[in-house]
Amino acid sequence: MHDPRYLRDNLDTVRSALGKRGQDVPWDAVQKLSEERRALTTQAEQLRHELKKGSDEVARRRRAKEPAEEAIAAMKQVGDQIKDIEGRLREAEEALNDLALRIPNLPHQTVPQGTDATQNVEVRRWGSLPSFSFPPKPHWEIGEALGILDFDRAAKIAGARFALMSGTGARLERALIDYMLDLHTSRHGYREVLPPVMVNRQTMTGTGQLPKFEDDLFRLRDEDWFLIPTAEVPVTNLHREEILSEDRLPIRYTAYTPCFRREAGSYGKDTRGLIRLHQFNKVELVVFTTPEQSYAELEQLTGHAETILQNLQLPYRVVMLCTGDMGFSAAKTYDIEVWLPSQNQYREISSCSNFESFQARRANIKYRPGGGKKDAKTDFVYTLNGSGLAVGRTVVAILENYQQPDGSVLIPEALKPYMGGRDKITKE
């Protein structure tokens, strides 16, 4: 959501800054409704002022035992006018709001121009790629052979794009969740939260999933609740409609949740394995901070996610997304991509973004600068979040990078304490 005043006065700037991203926005309608709303607001306020004065006059006359019929009749008319104007105002506001909520965020200046993922910019690489004396297998073959992944039964009980993990596979997923949360809470300064995974419409609107991307979400049939596609949604909305004092900032949360995505329109993509599922687990990092600190926070938060991969000794690279590949709400995004030997490429395992005030405006999350002094003007916080990490994809990376010629899989050193001390997954 953009500042309506800024939008009104700088429509052309916004429009060109959005470039390709804003192609489907009906700019003329935005401008027209913007002006209409302003005019109607002024009219309505003037009329209400008149009504107030008139009503006070009636009250005064009543007390003075003077006749008030004339004033009452006049005010009755003003009242009718107000009803008319306010009705039109409401319509204009609703229409404008609906359009405004569909305008994506403006990219930060440092974001490269581009139309798709091929124009993302690699920022850095970490780790050395593993070499194999045999053709590395895809994780689903490894997992099924070991008896820790079962896609056939998952399909039976739920359908395509679901997974069943069992035995050491289930333990591995749980170990990773534990490990990530422990690291972020004890070393990186995040507070752990365990939020609802079903949320209401307002919450989904706050972070930008609604109104534009309802088709990507699972929705309950009898209630207006949605399954969260990421913990970003409930956790960012923790402070919706709140004013935080600056000395509380930055506020950092980490949350493990399952995530649910319809994956509409991705038929045929990553149909096998754990890469793209309707339900997956993720540990998320969410930060509320000031505008000044937000970009330093983005670097730091990305680093926190990288630490997990480093500790697990998984090679990865960091890319800065170009304007055409960024999500709707983001101003700047780094993707962390982990190396997958079977695919001979890096694949996304984390996405870290600064949303600037875009979500804060939608969710009305403010802060009061200057150590809580009353006279300081409030302003919107900046929100950030990143995966730290997508758990299923981390399992994928471990299975593939740590696979052995005999089909077993070594357990990364850092994870052993979380795996009951075992150092290897063998056939079960």
Partner RNA sequence: GGAGAGGUGGCCGAGUGGCCGAAGGCAACGGUUUGCUAAACCGUCGUAGGGACAAAAUCUCUACCGAGGGUUCAAAUCCCUCCCUCUCCGCCA
The residue assigned the tokens 């990865």 is 316
Of 122 and 242, CB closest to RNA: 242
The answer to whether residue 351 is catalytic is yes
Residue 52 to residue 279: CA distance in whole angstroms? 56
The answer to whether residue 393 is catalytic is yes
AA letter at 255: A
Helix (H, G, I), strand (E, B) or coil at 228: coil
Of 5 and 187, CB closest to RNA: 5
Please report how many Cα atoms fall inside a 13 Å half-sphere around the Cα of residue 277, on the Cβ side: 24
Q: Provide the minimum distance between the beta carbon of 48 and RNA in the complex, in angstroms, as a whole number.
A: 4
One symbol per residue from 342 to 371: x for binding RNA (CB under 7 A), - otherwise; what is it? ------------------------x-x---
Of 61 and 125, CB closest to RNA: 61
Q: Provide the minimum distance between the beta carbon of 117 and RNA in the complex, in angstroms, as a whole number.
A: 37
The residue assigned the tokens 């002006």 is 35
Q: Provide the minimum distance between the beta carbon of 92 and RNA in the complex, in angstroms, as a whole number.
A: 13
Of 152 and 223, CB closest to RNA: 223
Of 79 and 303, CB closest to RNA: 79
Q: Provide the minimum distance between the beta carbon of 47 and RNA in the complex, in angstroms, as a whole number.
A: 9
- 351, 353, 357, 387: the active-site residue: 351
AA letter at 60: R
Does 196 bind RNA (CB under 7 A)? Our answer is no
Residue 383 to residue 365: CA distance in whole angstroms? 9
Q: 18-55 burial by CB neighbour count: b if 16+ within 10 A, else e?
A: beebbeebeeeebbebbebbeebeebbeebeeebeebe
Q: Three-state secondary structure along 324-387?
A: CCCCCCCCEEEEEEEEECCCCEEEEEEEEEEEECHHHHHHCEEEECCCCCCCCCCEECEEEEEE
The answer to whether residue 261 is catalytic is yes
Q: Provide the minimum distance between the beta carbon of 272 and RNA in the complex, in angstroms, as a whole number.
A: 35
Of 72 and 99, CB closest to RNA: 72
Does 5 bind RNA (CB under 7 A)? Our answer is yes
Element (DSSP H or E) covering residue 72: helix 69-100
The answer to whether residue 348 is catalytic is yes
Using CB under 7 A, which of 12, 13, 70, 76 touches RNA? 76
Does 63 bind RNA (CB under 7 A)? Our answer is yes
Helix (H, G, I), strand (E, B) or coil at 398: helix
Residue 253 to residue 246: CA distance in whole angstroms? 17
DSSP string, 135-178: PPPPHHHHHHHHTSB-HHHHHHHT-TT---B-THHHHHHHHHHH
Of 189 and 372, CB closest to RNA: 372
The residue assigned the tokens 């995974």 is 197
Tally helices (H) and strands (E) across the chain: 12, 15
Nearest residue to 290 (alpha-carbon basis) of 232, 371, 206: 371
One symbol per residue from 373 to 392: x for binding RNA (CB under 7 A), - otherwise; what is it? xx--xx--------------
Of 52 and 153, CB closest to RNA: 52
Nearest residue to 337 (alpha-carbon basis) of 104, 122, 112: 122
Where does this chain touch RNA (CB under 7 A) — which range of 70-78, 103-111, 138-146, 287-295? 70-78
Token pair listed for 81: 């006018």
User: Binding residues for RNA, how many (CB under 7 A)?
Assistant: 35
Q: Provide the minimum distance between the beta carbon of 201 and RNA in the complex, in angstroms, as a whole number.
A: 11
Contacts of 16 (CB under 8 A, 6+ apart): none
Q: Provide the minimum distance between the beta carbon of 70 and RNA in the complex, in angstroms, as a whole number.
A: 11
- 55, 240, 348, 408: the active-site residue: 348
- 21, 219, 276, 317: the active-site residue: 276
One symbol per residue from 32 to 51: x for binding RNA (CB under 7 A), - otherwise; what is it? ------x--xx-xxx-xx-x
The answer to whether residue 186 is catalytic is no
The residue assigned the tokens 């489907």 is 24
- 261, 361, 362, 368: the active-site residue: 261
* Contacts (CB under 7 A) with RNA, residues 222-281: 243
Of 258 and 417, CB closest to RNA: 258
Residue 75 to residue 55: CA distance in whole angstroms? 7
Q: Provide the minimum distance between the beta carbon of 210 and RNA in the complex, in angstroms, as a whole number.
A: 17
Q: Provide the minimum distance between the beta carbon of 120 and RNA in the complex, in angstroms, as a whole number.
A: 35
Active site residues: 261, 276, 348, 351, 393
Which residues are near RNA by CB under 7 A? 4-5, 38, 41-42, 44-46, 48-49, 51-56, 58-59, 62-63, 72, 75-76, 78-79, 83, 90, 243, 366, 368, 372-374, 377-378
